[in-house]
Amino acid sequence: TAQEASRLAVRAIRSGPPGSLGWSGALETLDSYLRADANRRNPGTTADLIAAALFVLFVEHGCELLLKKGGDRECVSLRPR
């Protein structure tokens, strides 16, 4: 539901600074929830809002993130050079 997606998004925001393990775990939980049920929980408008919010986060904070690649995690710097 939209309420559950909102609850998980708030949890991700409050889970710690971007790039921290708590933040990464909460973001992964939100992502998994939105992708479940054949991606029906992530309609276009929600996807656009999430993409815009992530863009602002990256531009404003230039954070480093742990990204899954295969089964491994890889640190990727998003800071401008």
Question: Where are the chain's structural domains?
Answer: 2-77
Between residues 77 and 24, the one the model is more confident about? 24
Q: Across the chain, where does the E strand assignment appear?
A: 64-69, 72-77
21 has pLDDT over 80: yes
Report how far Cα 14 is from the mean position of its chain's Cα atoms. Answer: 12
**Region 61-72 average pLDDT:** 57
pTM above 0.75, yes or no: no
38, containing H or E segment:
none
Dmax (CA) of the chain: 40
Mean pLDDT score, 53-66? 68
Instruction: Identify which has the larger pLDDT, 29 or 52.
Output: 29
Q: What is the pLDDT of residue 19?
A: 78
| Averaged pLDDT, 10-23 | 86
